[in-house]
Structure 1
Amino acid sequence: MDTIIVIGGGPSGMMAAISSKEHHPNARVILIERNERLGKKLRLTGGGRCNVTADVSNEEVISYVPKNGKFLYSALTNFNPQDIQKFFNENGCETKIEDHHRVFPKSNKSQDIVETLHRKLVECGVELFLDTYVESIDIAKKKIVTNKQTFNFDHCIFATGSKTLPGTGSDGNGYGLSEAVGHTITKLLPAEVPLVSNDQVIQEKTLQGLSFKDVKLNIYKKNKIKQSITHDLLFTHFGLSGPAALRASFYIQTILEKETPAKISIDFLPEISLESLQQESDVEEKLQEYGLPKRLISYFKEKSKNTQEVLEKVKGFEMSVYETRGFAHAFVTNGGVTLKEIDPKTMKSKINPCISMCGELLDYNAFTGGFNITSAFATGFTAGKYALSEA
C-alpha cells in the first residue's frame, strides 16, 4: 500500500489530505499537524468568521494575486471558488455571499469551516497525528522523523504555511524543510499587514477607531500614483488597518525599499466628485448624509482654513507610511519556495518528484478577502489529486 504524508493541518494541508484520499482511495494518507488541533490559523481569519473564498471567476481570483498569480491557473481549473462553496454546502456547512463577493459560513463561525474539514478527513479515512512536529526528512530513504515517531512515505506533500502569525504554529519551519530537500526560498517579507504611520493625526489618536466603507487609497511612487485600492479602512493607534491597508501593504513594501516614508492619500467619498461637493450649500450636513462621521469632519474643519480645504482633505487626505507591523501581525508572507521549481499542473517538485508543495509555502502572494484561502484550497486539492499520478 502506498503512503501519502501531508505535513501541515491548515487549509491547504487539510484539502491536500482529503483530495489524496479521494483520488487515491487505496493509499494510506497521513496528516501531521504540530498543533493540538487542526486549522488554528484558519479559525482566526475573517475576524473569527472565516472568509473562506470569493464568489468570482478563476480569472478574477488571479487578478487578486498580485505576485505570480498566473501560476495558480491550473490549480484553479481543478478546484475553484464555486467548487469550494459546493464542498462546504454539501458537507453540512452552508455558506453565504457578502459584499466584495466574500463568502462566509452562514453561521459566521470559522469553527464550522474547520470542523467540516475535520469531519471530512475522518470520513475519508485520513489518519491524523496532532501535536506532532516534523524534525527532519530523508528523501533518499523516504522517511520523516517527528518528535514522536518516524514515518515512511511514497509521496510527501509540504503544506506547512509561511511565517506569519507564528503563534498559530506558522513559524517558517517549512522553509527549512524545503531547503533541506534542495529547494530555493525567495526573499521573505510580511504581506497583507497593517501600516504604521507617525503622522500627527495618528500620534494624537484623533481618528483612532473610525472605520470607513469603500474608501479609495492611493499609493504614490515618486509623486505619481502607483496603485489605487478601494475597500474598507480602519484608523488605529499605530496607523491604518482593514482590507484597503492590508492590500496596499504589498505595494508599499516595495516602495519602502527605495524611498521612506511612502506617501498615500485617502479619498473618503470616491463615488462623489469634488465639483459636486463644492456646489452644496451646507457642506457639513451633506458630508454627514454621505456617511462621514462627525469626528472626521470636525478634524478636517480644525485643520483647514476654509470649506474648500475641508473638501480637498475629504477627497485626498495625505498620509505617510514608515513601515508595516511585520510578520507578527501579517496575514500572508510575500516570498517562499521559488515557483520555477514546482510543476503548476501537479504541485510536484521538479527536483524531487516524491515531494509536492502547496499553500502559503509557495512564492505567490494573494490578497485577503477570500483569495488567499482559495489559493490554499486549490493548490492543496491539486497536490492531493496528482500525488501518485501524473497530470
Structure 2
Amino acid sequence: MSVSLPYWRLSGFYFFYFALLGATAPFFGLYFAHLGFSAERIGELVAIPMLMRCLAPNLWGWLGDATGQRLAIVRIGALCTLLSFGLIFFDKSYAWLVLVMALHAFFWHAVLPQFEVITLAHLREEAAHYSQIRLWGSIGFIVTVVGLGALFERVSLDVYPVAIMMVMAGIVLSSIWVPNAQPEQRPETAGQGGFLRQLCRPGVLAFYVCVGLMQVSHGPYYTFFSIHLEALGYERGIIGLLWALGVVAEVLLFLVMAALLKRFSLRLVLVTSFLLAALRWILLGTLADHLLVLLLAQLMHAATFGSFHAAAVHFVQRSFGHRQQGQGQALYATLAGIGGALGALYSGYGWTSLGPTWVFAIASLAALAAAAIMVIPLHKRRT
C-alpha cells in the first residue's frame, strides 16, 4: 500500500467504531433482560437503531455528497452519539429507552457510510486493500466483546452504560485524528445518469434487495444469540469468547479478501456468503447445545459478515459514479437497517411463541432467498 496512506488513523477509527458494535450487539439484549423487559420489548428496543438506518444514512449521505464535508459529518455524528446516549443515565423506563435508542442511533448511523467513502478515497486505485484496514474494526469488536464478557461475570450489568460511553468517547477522539480525502473525480460513463438511474439497473436493484434479506436473516443472531446461549447453560464469559471467535474468523478472511476478490467475481462471493449464512442459522437454531457445532457455526461468520460486507462495499463503489458514492453507501446501510429491524422484530415476537428453532429457520430461508435472487443475474450473464 502507498506510504502516504494514513493507515493507522483510518484503522484506529474502525477499531473504536466496531468496538461499539461489540459492546452493543452481544449485550443489549442481556442488558434489557437484566432490566426486566420481555422478549417482545427487547426485540422492539433492538430494532430501533436498525430502523434509524432507514432514515439517517440517506439524509447524511445526501448532505455529504452535496457539501463534500464528509469528515465534518463523521465528527459531528460521533460527538452527538456520545451526548445523546448519555441520556440513559436519567431514566430506564421503556419510553425513555426508546428515545435514547432512536436518538443516539440517528447520529451513529450518520458516521460509517461517510467514513467508508473517505477510506476508499484515501485508497483510490488500491481499493482491494480496504479489508486490511477494515480488519481493525473486527479486532476492536473482539477486544470489547471478550473484555465485557469477562467483566460481566464479575460485576453487575448495571455498569453497562458506562462501558458504552467509554467506547463512544474513543470514536470521537479517533475521528479528530483522521485526515480528510475526497473521492476521485472520475469521468462519468456515457449514459450513466443520476443516482436513481444507476440504482434502477437490474443487477444493482437485486443487490440491494439481497442486502435487506441478509440482514433480516441476522435478526435473531444480533438480538437473541446471547440470550439463547445463556438459556442453554453457557456462561457470559464463554458467550463473549464465542462472539469473538466469529470475528476472529472474519479478521482472517479480511487478510485474504484482496486475493479472493482478484480471483472470484463479487457476485460469486456474495452468493457463497448467502448460502453459508443459511447453513449457519440452521445450526444455531437446532444444534447450539453441541459446542463443536457451535464453534463451526461461529467460524462461518467469516462468510456471513466478512466476505459479504467486503464484497458489498466494493459492489457499491463500482455501481455508482463519484457524485453518488455517499448515497450509494448510505442506501446500503439503509437496506441493512430495514432488514435488521424486521429481523429483530420478527424474532422478538416469535421467540416465545415459535421458539429458537423456527426463528432461526426463518432466518435461513431469508438467506436462501438472497442467494436465489443473486444467482438469477449470474445465470443470465453466462447465457
| TM bracket, shorter-chain basis | under 0.3
More helix by share: 2
TM-score by length of 1: 0.24
- The structure with more radius of gyration: 1
Higher relative contact order (CA 8 A, sep 6+): 2
TM-score by length of 2: 0.24
More strand by share: 1
